[in-house]
Amino acid sequence: MNKSRLASRRWWYIMPIVFITYSLAYVDRSNFSFASAAGINDDLHITKGMSSLLGALFFLGYFFFQIPGTIYAERRSVKKLIFWCLLLWGGFASLTGVVTNIPMLAVIRFALGVVEAAVMPAMLVYISNWFTKSERSRANTFLILGNPVTVLWMSVLSGYLIKSFGWREMFIFEGIPAVIWAIIWWFSVKDKPEEVSWLSEQEKKDLAAQLEKEQKDIQAVGGYREAFRSRNVILLCLQYFFWSIGVYGFVLWLPSILRDGKSMGMVEAGWLSSGPYLAATIAMILVSWASDKMQNRKLFVWPLLLVGALAFFGSWAAGTNNFWLSYSLLVVAAAAMYAPYGPFFAIIPEMLPKNVSGGAMALINSLGALGSFFGSWFVGYLNGNTGSPAASFIFMAVSLLLSAGLTLLVRPRKAEIKPKGNVSLT
């Protein structure tokens, strides 16, 4: 078998689908920030404190339904799960544009979190079915690139849609593509390599053999209870909790932070909001490549989170009187926060066997959702009550510092990984 040809074929068939699917999910969770900066609060008589809570409600729904959805994906079908999620989240996203009161908006925000809850861990399970250990950081990165790349173009598009139509039409227009993509997904995706026709029988056997060989290097774990009680899984849950505080406090409130720091319209805010995500996209690609090349995961996680924390401290020190310096440091913070995603999500499948790794990733992502809820709510609360982003910058910086420190404590144990494994988490 020509291994390079096999690798190339999988990348070209699988990655565009993975990337587009997660991109569409991210549109519907981050465009609320633009509506908040563009008039939804005035139209629905939403206070600043209530606005931050409504923005964060998505993550509460996300938190509660991670693990059940991922177990279904792991044991049954990623294809069926994502199909129904796409249909439902596209519908709920468009319905946001027709809400007339706060309770309706709260229900839709929570429901969006519920139907998107299993998408991230289910897609990580899907990737683990198709890509080997030496490819996994890059494959994970192509998935998660849907996050910054989407915010990059969505920031510009949302600014123009709001200017041309309004925040209601923005929600309606941006929810429709997910429904259309659900049909394409259904006819394009197969759960396992053995189900597709575009790989030869020999290629399927060779890929299956390599994936099975990698599993033999990891000591068996009896079930989810044992995996969830693992010291490393607990540490990664806490690490991702604090990391997500920084990421989603930043994502959900960046347009408002920019408009508070400098008088500007929504189009200009949209263009400036895209800058940090362009830097994040480039950083993610470079870091995931280096992580797979060196087969080292932690080295490409904690130092970058530390850089992100220092950049937030620097942006706070620069203050609103030095807008462009403060903004440049926010660009650095975004790149540093996003860059480690690929290596980070490669850690679990290389530390726990296939029968529990998906559930462990869901648990970690659940704690991340809880951090996202707390971060997006508390950053909005701080901005509204202090009248400036200074306190929220300190809050996000401290969260990233804690995340970096917890990453350093994660160490593979012989009870979890056999010494034979050649991937370093240190």
Residues 6+ apart with CB under 8 A from 168: 97, 98
**Closest residue by Cα to residue 36 from 10, 60, 15, 57:** 57
> To which residue do tokens 């209530």 refer?
50
Q: Spell out the CATH class of 3-210+223-409.
A: mainly alpha
Tell me which DSSP letter residue 388 carries: S
Q: Dump pLDDT digits (tens) for 282-324.
A: 998 999 889 888 878 888 999 999 999 999 888 888 776 777 8
Q: Dump pLDDT digits (tens) for 108-146.
A: 888 888 888 878 888 888 988 888 888 888 888 888 887
In this predicted structure, the answer to whether residue 222 has a pLDDT above a threshold of 80 is no
SS3 424: strand
Cβ proximity of 345 and 124 under 8 Å: yes
The answer to whether the predicted template modeling score (pTM) of the entire model surpasses 0.95 is: no
Where in the chain are the domains?
3-210+223-409
Cβ proximity of 358 and 364 under 8 Å: no
Q: Dump pLDDT digits (tens) for 171-215.
A: 888 889 999 999 999 999 999 888 988 888 888 888 888 888 877
Confidence of residue 417 (pLDDT cuts 50, 70, 90): very low
Tell me which DSSP letter residue 77 carries: -
